[in-house]
Amino acid sequence: MKKCASYIIYMLLLAAIACACSDDIDIKQDYEFKVTHLPVPKKLKTGETAEIRCQLERSGEYENTKYFLRYFQTEGRGSLRMDRGTPFLPNDTYELEKETFRLYYTSYSQERAVIEIVFFDSFAREYPLTLNFNANSSEEK
Protein backbone atom coordinates (compact mmCIF):
# COMPACT_ATOMS: atom_id res chain seq x y z
CA MET A 1 0.00 0.00 0.00
CA LYS A 2 2.81 2.42 0.91
CA LYS A 3 4.57 1.52 -2.32
CA CYS A 4 1.45 2.26 -4.36
CA ALA A 5 0.86 5.59 -2.55
CA SER A 6 4.47 6.72 -3.08
CA TYR A 7 4.19 5.71 -6.75
CA ILE A 8 1.03 7.84 -7.14
CA ILE A 9 2.66 10.82 -5.40
CA TYR A 10 5.73 10.41 -7.60
CA MET A 11 3.56 10.37 -10.76
CA LEU A 12 1.61 13.44 -9.58
CA LEU A 13 4.87 15.33 -8.98
CA LEU A 14 6.13 14.40 -12.45
CA ALA A 15 2.82 15.50 -13.99
CA ALA A 16 2.98 18.82 -12.12
CA ILE A 17 6.55 19.42 -13.27
CA ALA A 18 5.67 18.54 -16.87
CA CYS A 19 2.70 20.91 -16.84
CA ALA A 20 4.74 23.70 -15.27
CA CYS A 21 7.31 23.60 -18.07
CA SER A 22 6.37 25.51 -21.19
CA ASP A 23 7.97 25.96 -24.56
CA ASP A 24 6.44 29.45 -24.81
CA ILE A 25 9.39 31.50 -23.63
CA ASP A 26 8.65 35.18 -24.17
CA ILE A 27 11.82 37.05 -25.11
CA LYS A 28 11.23 40.75 -25.60
CA GLN A 29 13.13 42.22 -28.50
CA ASP A 30 11.35 45.42 -29.47
CA TYR A 31 11.60 48.13 -26.83
CA GLU A 32 10.23 51.63 -26.98
CA PHE A 33 12.74 54.40 -27.52
CA LYS A 34 12.95 58.14 -27.98
CA VAL A 35 15.55 60.63 -29.11
CA THR A 36 16.13 63.63 -26.90
CA HIS A 37 18.13 66.69 -27.88
CA LEU A 38 19.55 69.81 -26.33
CA PRO A 39 17.88 73.11 -27.24
CA VAL A 40 18.57 74.36 -30.75
CA PRO A 41 18.43 77.94 -32.07
CA LYS A 42 15.03 79.09 -33.29
CA LYS A 43 16.53 81.51 -35.83
CA LEU A 44 19.23 80.87 -38.43
CA LYS A 45 20.77 83.19 -40.98
CA THR A 46 21.11 81.93 -44.52
CA GLY A 47 24.19 79.69 -44.57
CA GLU A 48 24.32 79.38 -40.77
CA THR A 49 24.59 75.91 -39.20
CA ALA A 50 22.79 74.69 -36.09
CA GLU A 51 24.24 71.87 -33.99
CA ILE A 52 21.67 69.35 -32.76
CA ARG A 53 23.06 67.21 -29.93
CA CYS A 54 21.02 64.02 -29.69
CA GLN A 55 20.75 61.09 -27.30
CA LEU A 56 19.02 57.79 -28.08
CA GLU A 57 17.13 56.64 -24.97
CA ARG A 58 15.79 53.09 -24.86
CA SER A 59 13.36 51.52 -22.39
CA GLY A 60 15.24 48.22 -22.73
CA GLU A 61 18.06 46.75 -24.72
CA TYR A 62 18.15 43.96 -27.26
CA GLU A 63 21.61 43.46 -28.72
CA ASN A 64 20.56 42.96 -32.34
CA THR A 65 18.35 46.05 -32.60
CA LYS A 66 19.57 48.60 -35.11
CA TYR A 67 18.49 52.24 -35.24
CA PHE A 68 18.11 54.40 -38.32
CA LEU A 69 17.06 57.87 -39.38
CA ARG A 70 15.69 59.59 -42.42
CA TYR A 71 14.70 63.20 -42.83
CA PHE A 72 12.39 65.36 -44.87
CA GLN A 73 12.61 69.08 -45.60
CA THR A 74 8.94 70.12 -45.48
CA GLU A 75 9.54 73.88 -45.75
CA GLY A 76 12.47 75.94 -46.97
CA ARG A 77 15.86 74.72 -48.11
CA GLY A 78 18.83 73.36 -46.23
CA SER A 79 21.05 70.37 -45.62
CA LEU A 80 21.45 67.93 -42.75
CA ARG A 81 24.61 66.00 -41.98
CA MET A 82 26.03 63.75 -39.29
CA ASP A 83 28.79 64.74 -36.90
CA ARG A 84 31.42 63.19 -39.15
CA GLY A 85 30.34 65.32 -42.09
CA THR A 86 28.26 62.67 -43.87
CA PRO A 87 25.59 64.61 -45.79
CA PHE A 88 22.09 63.15 -45.82
CA LEU A 89 19.79 63.01 -48.79
CA PRO A 90 16.10 63.57 -48.05
CA ASN A 91 14.10 60.37 -47.54
CA ASP A 92 17.17 58.10 -47.61
CA THR A 93 17.79 55.78 -44.67
CA TYR A 94 20.94 56.06 -42.55
CA GLU A 95 22.00 53.78 -39.68
CA LEU A 96 22.83 55.31 -36.32
CA GLU A 97 26.13 53.95 -35.11
CA LYS A 98 26.15 55.58 -31.67
CA GLU A 99 23.61 56.39 -28.96
CA THR A 100 25.02 59.89 -28.52
CA PHE A 101 25.46 61.79 -31.76
CA ARG A 102 25.34 65.24 -33.32
CA LEU A 103 23.47 66.41 -36.36
CA TYR A 104 24.20 69.66 -38.17
CA TYR A 105 21.54 71.54 -40.10
CA THR A 106 22.58 74.34 -42.47
CA SER A 107 19.80 76.64 -43.62
CA TYR A 108 19.71 77.98 -47.17
CA SER A 109 16.32 79.62 -46.66
CA GLN A 110 15.50 83.28 -46.44
CA GLU A 111 12.19 82.33 -44.89
CA ARG A 112 11.22 79.58 -42.48
CA ALA A 113 12.77 76.10 -42.66
CA VAL A 114 11.15 72.96 -41.24
CA ILE A 115 12.76 69.53 -41.12
CA GLU A 116 11.24 66.32 -39.89
CA ILE A 117 13.66 63.63 -38.74
CA VAL A 118 12.19 60.17 -38.29
CA PHE A 119 14.15 57.75 -36.13
CA PHE A 120 13.16 54.09 -36.37
CA ASP A 121 14.45 50.72 -35.29
CA SER A 122 14.71 47.33 -36.95
CA PHE A 123 11.28 46.44 -35.50
CA ALA A 124 9.58 49.38 -37.28
CA ARG A 125 9.05 51.45 -34.12
CA GLU A 126 9.28 55.14 -35.01
CA TYR A 127 10.06 58.35 -33.18
CA PRO A 128 9.52 61.59 -35.16
CA LEU A 129 11.30 64.85 -34.38
CA THR A 130 10.30 68.13 -36.05
CA LEU A 131 12.57 71.18 -35.96
CA ASN A 132 11.56 74.69 -37.03
CA PHE A 133 14.03 77.42 -37.94
CA ASN A 134 12.96 80.96 -38.71
CA ALA A 135 15.10 83.19 -40.89
CA ASN A 136 17.29 85.59 -38.94
CA SER A 137 17.81 88.56 -41.18
CA SER A 138 18.91 91.00 -38.48
CA GLU A 139 22.21 92.72 -39.12
CA GLU A 140 24.81 92.56 -36.37
CA LYS A 141 26.54 95.84 -35.66
Q: What is the pLDDT of residues 52-102, one digit of tens each?
A: 999 999 887 777 889 999 999 999 999 999 987 778 999 999 999 899 999
Whether 14 is covered by a domain: the verdict is no
Task: Please give the pLDDT value at position 141.
Answer: 38
Residue 45 burial (10 A CB sphere; 0-12, 13-18, 19+): middle
Cα-flanking dihedrals φ and ψ of residue 128, to 5°? -85, 150
Task: Please give the pLDDT value at position 135.
Answer: 85
What's the pTM value of the predicted model, to 2 decimals?
0.74
Task: Please give the pLDDT value at position 7.
Answer: 72
Structural domain total, the chain:
1
Q: What average pLDDT does this structure show over 98-112?
A: 92
Whether 13 is covered by a domain: the verdict is no
**pLDDT above 60 (res 140):** no
Task: Please give the pLDDT value at position 16.
Answer: 66
Task: Read off the CATH number of the domain in which 121 is found.
Answer: 2.60.40.2410
What single DSSP character describes residue 99? S
Whether 71 is covered by a domain: the verdict is yes
Q: Domain range for residue 57?
A: 33-135
Instruction: Tell me the pLDDT tens digit for each residue of 6-30.
Output: 777 777 676 666 665 556 665 666 7
Q: What average pLDDT does this structure show over 29-38?
A: 88
Contact, 76 vs 107, CB < 8 A? yes
Task: Please give the pLDDT value at position 2.
Answer: 66
Whether 124 is covered by a domain: the verdict is yes
**Residue 43 one-letter amino acid:** K
Whether 73 is covered by a domain: the verdict is yes
Whether 66 is covered by a domain: the verdict is yes
Whether 92 is covered by a domain: the verdict is yes
Whether 108 is covered by a domain: the verdict is yes
- Residues 20-44, buried b or exposed e (16+ Cβ, 10 A)? eeeeeeeeeeeeebebeeeeebeeb
Closest of 133, 108, 107, 131 to residue 119, by C-alpha: 131
